[in-house]
Amino acid sequence: MRILAALILSTVACTCLAGQAAVKNVRMWPAPDRTRVVFDVDGPLEHTLFILNNPSRVVVDLRDTSLAVKVDRPTKADKLLSSIRHASRNNRDLRVVFDLRKPVRPRSFLLKPNKQYGYRLVVDLYDKGDAKKSLKESIKRAAPRNPSKLRDLIIAVDAGHGGEDPGTIGRKGTREKSVVLAIAKELQKQLKNEPGMRPVLVRRGDYYIGLRKRMKIAREQRADLFVSIHADSFKDPRVRGSSVYVLSRNGASSEAARWLAEQENAADLVGGVSLDDKDDLLASVLLDLSQTATLSASTDVGTNVLKQLGTLGKTHKRRVQRAGFMVLKSPDIPSILVETAFLSNPTEEKRLRNRKHQRKLAKAMTAGVRTFFKYNAPPGTRLAARKHVIARGDTLGRIAGLYGVSLKDLRKVNALKGSDIKVGQVLQIPSVSGG
Ligand SMILES: [Zn+2]
């Protein structure tokens, strides 16, 4: 066999290894841009990985390892992996061969024990064609919007966890990753029916997406809002109720520095200001300002969502909470994290699995988002664009009736106290009536 790619030698294991490691399970998670294969092993191990072409294969040798379980066939939906073969080598090592449908960029690493998992060897097989495609797409998306054309508000809906990360697990075995995906899909469905809004799902199936990648997807989609959906857990099963989180200032300030350092794309915009031609200090001040505005918007939308969730039952906390969640750290996209309920609470676990309740949660979140954008729709969006020029004979009541909005809302968005209006005066029409 001719080795065409560099040999990657992992030296995670210590030299004091005694006896063999055993692979206890092999799990596969096909995602849009890659397939992840996870080997559950009972201890640390050394491995080497190399690529073979014609036909495309990736070979992983696990040193001093045996495999006792049956390895499933990859699903038909897997665009990259067609089969996995394995055999023992020199009576000690395990050789695993991944047969591929097309060439991949592989990456492998060993994960240390965490929560319910022990050691895991992760092999990521990235679609080679995908990198080029996504670069092209992000360039296309980064092109300035046509200012003469009104656009929809874009809401990134992010279902937490996924794939080999189940999130928290309820007493009845309910996995957070599954219920939050169902709620996210329901939220997407409901937001689609809102005039002037276009939801995009960050995670579409049962696979894991890194936290930074989630933010990147939202950025590539030019999201106006990022909503991450989760389910909570606590040691006391009595604890219950929804909570909404925004980023804490402490988390934000350290990330601001990091964000700058990691600015890969010089053309990236932060709050509409290009950073590439500014010095670092100014850039960090701009970023800070933009992040302050973003945080205030996040808190605002979070408060609206929490209020609506409160109509379904007592919320866990009465106010929006702050924490350093990575996924909330986009400096220029208002972001909230919704802990819909406690999976550790038996009643709430049951409710979280219930379609009707999932719909109610989505409805409450939709209402919160709608109320927020009613007063905060960015210029250039369809929702911000409804204006009425006062003609002779117009009254506030007639205009409210004309657009199907309440007199109270019409007064509020235009900061009107009484009923005085002048011919030629321009009134903002609140986008949605009711609330
Ligand atoms: Zn979670």
Q: Which residue has the higher pLDDT, 431 or 172?
A: 172
Span from the CA of 340 to the centroid of ligand 1 (angstroms): 10
How many other CB atoms are there within 10 angstroms of residue 66's CB atom?
14
Span from the CA of 108 to the centroid of ligand 1 (angstroms): 25
Q: Which segment, 90-94, 166-170, 261-265, 364-368, is predicted with the most confidence on average? A: 364-368
Span from the CA of 231 to the centroid of ligand 1 (angstroms): 5
Helices vs. strands in the chain: H and E counts, helices first: 9, 20
DSSP 136-169: HHHHHHHSPP-TTS-B-EEEEEEE--BTTB---B
Nearest to 150 by CA among 323, 384, 347, 372: 384
Span from the CA of 49 to the centroid of ligand 1 (angstroms): 32
Indicate whether 324 pLDDT > 60: yes
Report CA torsion sign: 285, 291, 296, 299: negative
Could you report the per-residue pLDDT of 355-393, keeping only the tens digit for each?
Answer: 999 999 999 999 999 999 988 888 778 887 677 888 888
Q: Do 387 and 427 meet the contact criterion of CB atoms below 8 Å apart?
A: yes
* CA distance between the termini of the chain: 67
Q: pLDDT at position 235, please?
A: 84
Confidence category of residue 74, pLDDT binned at 50, 70, 90: very high
Mean pLDDT of the chain: 81
Q: Which residues of 199-223 are buried (b: 16+ CB within 10 A; e: fewer)?
A: bbbbbbebbbbeeeebbbbbbbbeb
Could you report the per-residue pLDDT of 192-208, keeping only the tens digit for each?
Answer: 999 889 999 999 999 98
Span from the CA of 296 to the centroid of ligand 1 (angstroms): 23
Span from the CA of 177 to the centroid of ligand 1 (angstroms): 8
Q: pLDDT at position 192, please?
A: 96
Q: pLDDT at position 84, please?
A: 95
Q: Rounded CA gap, 254 and 261, in Å?
A: 11
Span from the CA of 342 to the centroid of ligand 1 (angstroms): 10
Q: Do 414 and 428 meet the contact criterion of CB atoms below 8 Å apart?
A: yes
User: Residue 118 burial (CB < 10 Å; 0-12/13-18/19+)?
Assistant: middle
Integer angstrom CA distances of residue 266 from 139, 203, 276, 279, 326? 12, 27, 5, 12, 22
3-state helix, strand, coil in the chain (%, to 5): 30, 30, 40
Nearest to 389 by CA among 431, 429, 432, 420: 429
Span from the CA of 176 to the centroid of ligand 1 (angstroms): 7
Indicate whether 157 pLDDT > 90: yes
Indicate whether 151 pLDDT > 90: no
Q: Do 315 and 205 meet the contact criterion of CB atoms below 8 Å apart?
A: no
Tokens of 140: 């296309």
**408-418: average pLDDT:** 87
